[in-house]
A and B are shown apart, each in its own frame.
Chain A
Amino acid sequence: MTAAAVRRVVVTGMGVVSSIGIGLGDFTEGLRSGRIGARRATSFDVTGFPSELVGEVAGFEPERWIDDPSRLGRASQFAVAAAAMAVEGVDLDYLRARRALISIGTTNAQSQDVDAIATTAVLDSPERMDPAIARRVTSQGIPNDIARSLGLSNVDSYVIGTACSAGNYGIGDGVDAIRLGEADFALCGGADAASRRTFAAFHRLGLVAPDACRPFDAGRKGIITGEGAGVLLLEDLESALARGAHIYAEVLGYGLNCDGVDPVAPTRESVARCIRLALDDAGVKPSEVGFISAHGTGTKTNDITECNAIRDVYGDSPPPVVALKSMLGHAMGAASSIAAIGCVAAMNDGFIPPTANHREMDPECAIDCVPNAAVSAQVDIVQNNGFAFGGDNAVVVLGRYDRSSR
């Protein structure tokens, strides 16, 4: 079965909770202006760590979207809020009468809840763990909370736990479910909450930048850990047209594969193969892609490997390659879904987002990273990369719905 033989999948809603903006408008303005989300962490104690900057979500008022936010962990709050934004304006009875896939990617799921009861267990006694928190540490609670908040029972609802590319996995999952007619609509993407343990783990690996995330920069020192959620409402083109939905973009295709080589370091050949799988699935030629939203973590290894893999596919003159993590921090399992939303917003608003904090291009990367300031551009098709520890790669290709070449 080829993509051409199956239903076309369009984006008809987008919700985002991020360190640079909450809601599509605020987030898009953040991207366009090169806003930096890194700030001193407040949601966990950073005393004693070598750095204290986190791409933390600030000014989040969960009660705007959730009746009783205290019932939900922080990652669930982000996910439920983002899902509520994605379905804003859609008749809930319409959704409840249809079959849904809710596929949410995450690295650390209910990380702060796990940290909380684990801390009680090791510093106090496991007998004093909060039962309410213990009940909600199962990862599946995140998509289930989305379904419950919207009153959706006719769902397949689960988490994709494929670490830092999980958001793209979620989007791809939704695409296939709709193409095959297994779901009428999908709420998919990713969610993660920054946590003490995650912060410690990336510090232990020596991958955290002390001051700023500088992808592709000769002086880059690593990531800024982050958090947030990006949830997309996907449905097939015909149903979207029939209900008069606003169509933000088309998901043209995706690809996924596994390096199967190293638990941590990415592999150039495998990443290149994943890009080719995605472009083939989308029926897109490299020359049609207007910019690439890179995984772009700002670590030594990732950025060189990724740029080389891009050149393997695109040749020596690839389109601009931008790293939204320079602004957002690394929102883990949410990262690639937030970036996908950023790609759509940028296409629709006619700009290419910048790579912030940039000073000097690493000659081993040698790409146009759109340093520090967004540029105006008419872009029809974008490639969005996501890679993970374990070698789990997923690349999503998005297109403007009203592009000329469809």
Chain B
Amino acid sequence: MNAVITGWSAVSAYGFGRHAFTEGVVSGRATAAPAMEGAPDTHVCWVPDLDPKNILDGKGIRHLDRASQLALATFSELVEPGVDTGERAGVVLGTTAGSHQVELDQIRDTHRNARPHHLAPKQVASGTMNCAAAQCAIRFGIHGPNTTVAGGRGAALHALGYARRLLAMDRADSVIVGAVEEATFARAWFTHAAGTRPGQWLGEGGAAFRVEPSGTSRPVLAEVLGIGTRLALNVREGHLPKPQVGEGGLHDTLATCVREVLARAEVSPSSVHAVVGPEPEGLFKDLADVPDLSFMGDTGSVSSAYAIVTALGVLRLPGEVVLVTSADPDGAVACALLRLGNSRSDHDG
């Protein structure tokens, strides 16, 4: 069974929906805006005008963590009742760690309130990583497998691999795969302290795409030819990051991962027309230009989801093979080899 992708959506610093994403990414506009109070940086690449009142019917959204709000906004443009709903439809949603902001707020409550367990009651359900995926299931009626995959920058690629197995084992007829990440005071400081986004503003957003078995009646935006993952073993020495070059470093490990996927899919490097994400050095020639996604800031787990929907919606390479890659500072590398379909995906224009 080969998996195919038949739809996508995105909420980003360029705004809501496919059109805003495509237009913004192609423009290469900067998106940074003044940061939240007390942040370690002066700017953050916000999703502009994220307003709980405008998400679905607006009811009960305000109390959710921002990541869950972003997930619901992202799903709103993609979910088709009857296709993406019911017992045979699934959700596999990537994240780095859910909402660190809820965790920080709750820790503050444990220290500041009269009793340590006097947490804000409406925030408790947002305190687990699966809140966003579960909210999508509840609000849209998606009763099949519902899995949260925490995987750093490559989360959407790990999630795609997981979803492909669900389909291969006939556990679902279709799966919405994606990732969400929130820009909050807590994530700004945690990533700042960790030093994992040197020189980058904090970013946020959500992206999702529908994965189905090949043979679907819906137009195919891309066929998944292969997925690869590896872990670089030489990125941490004690508490300090090591240079990312050389054997066991991120770059070499990504190159190994990519070569393995190409070999398994029996695709030669010369057939790859574009790479979205970090490019393994020396493997490819004459690649097509790909827009720079860094204008949306460090979007964490969403960066790999944005890379995939960029391949689907922004690149104009019908029928060609595109490689999507990711490399996380903690060592995980991942890639997906896609053959783009001949369908146009920006059908909302």
Contact = CB atoms under 8 A, between A and B. Distances in A.
Given A156-B158, A158-B151, A131 B194 contact: yes
Interface stretch (A176-184, A341-349, A350-358, A371-379): A176-184
Nearest to B101: A118
A197 B107 contact: yes
B20 interface: no
Nearest to A50: B117
A262 interface: yes
Contacts of B232: 153
Nearest to A110: B97
Interface string B137-162: 11011111111111110010010011
A389 B125 contact: yes
Contacts of B253: 153
A263 B125 contact: yes
Q: Which of A71, A132, A162, A205 has the most CB of B within 10 A?
A: A162
B230 A107 contact: no
A162 B151 contact: no
Interface residues of B, number: 84
Given A153-B231, A262-B138, A257 B158 contact: no
Contacts of B171: 176, 256
Tell me the interface secondary structure of chain A in the complex.
mixed
Interface string B31-59: 00000001010000000000000000000
Contacts of A200: 106, 109-110, 116-117, 119
Nearest to A139: B150
A287 B343 CA distance: 51
Given A126-B40, A139-B129, A390-B130, A204 B100 contact: no
Contacts of A261: 138
B219 interface: no
Interface stretch (B2-10, B198-206, B314-322, B328-336): B328-336
Given A140-B330, A182-B165, A153 B230 contact: yes
A257 B146 CA distance: 6
Q: Which of B104, B106, B130, B232 has the most CB of A within 10 A?
A: B130
Nearest to A47: B116
Interface stretch (B185-193, B273-281, B284-292): B185-193
B1 A1 contact: yes
B131 interface: yes
Interface in A39-91: 47-50, 68, 71
Q: Which of B137, B231, B331 has the most CB of A within 10 A?
A: B231
A1 B229 CA distance: 25
B216 to A, nearest CB: 17
Contacts of A1: 1, 168-170
Nearest to A129: B193
B96 A147 contact: no
A203 B118 CA distance: 8
A129 B189 contact: yes
Interface in B83-117: 87, 91, 95-98, 100, 103-104, 106-112, 115-117
Contacts of A169: 147
A162 B148 contact: yes
Contact of B103 (A114, A134, A173): A114
A148 B40 CA distance: 31
A205 B124 contact: yes
B215 interface: no
A392 interface: yes
Contact of A391 (B108, B110, B137, B148): B137
Interface string B193-232: 1111000000000000000000000000000000001111
Nearest to B120: A204
Q: Which of A129, A151, A263 has the most CB of B within 10 A?
A: A263
Contacts of B162: 173
A214 to B, nearest CB: 21
Contacts of A389: 125, 128, 130, 134
A182 B146 CA distance: 21
Contact of A49 (B116, B121, B133): B116
A109 to B, nearest CB: 6
Interface residues of A, number: 80
A155 B104 contact: no
Contacts of A201: 106, 117, 119, 124, 127
A196 interface: yes
A161 B150 contact: yes
A220 interface: no
Contacts of A119: 107, 111
A5 B162 CA distance: 20
A312 interface: no
Given A153-B253, A204-B121, A259-B143, A126 B193 contact: yes
B130 A163 contact: yes
Contacts of A139: 95-97, 129, 150-151
A154 B128 CA distance: 30
B128 A390 contact: yes
Q: Name the 7 nearest CB pairs between A and B, nearest first.
A: A390-B134, A161-B129, A258-B146, A203-B117, A134-B193, A139-B150, A132-B239
Interface of B: 1, 38, 40, 87, 91, 95-98, 100, 103-104, 106-112, 115-119, 121, 124-125, 127-131, 133-135, 137-138, 140-152, 155, 158, 161-162, 165-166, 168-171, 186, 189-191, 193-196, 229-233, 236, 238-239, 241, 248, 253, 328, 330-332, 334
Interface of A: 1-2, 47-50, 68, 71, 106-109, 114-115, 117-119, 121-123, 126-127, 129-132, 134-135, 137-141, 144, 147-148, 151-163, 169, 173, 176-177, 179-180, 182, 196-197, 199-201, 203-205, 256-264, 270, 273, 388-392
Given A119-B107, A131-B193, 20 more contacts: A107-B129, A117-B193, A123-B111, A127-B40, A154-B230, A155-B231, A156-B161, A156-B229, A156-B334, A158-B155, A176-B168, A176-B169, A197-B107, A200-B116, A257-B146, A259-B137, A263-B134, A389-B125, A390-B128, A391-B137
15 contacts: A126-B38, A131-B193, A139-B96, A148-B233, A153-B248, A156-B158, A158-B158, A160-B147, A161-B148, A201-B106, A201-B127, A263-B134, A388-B128, A390-B135, A390-B137
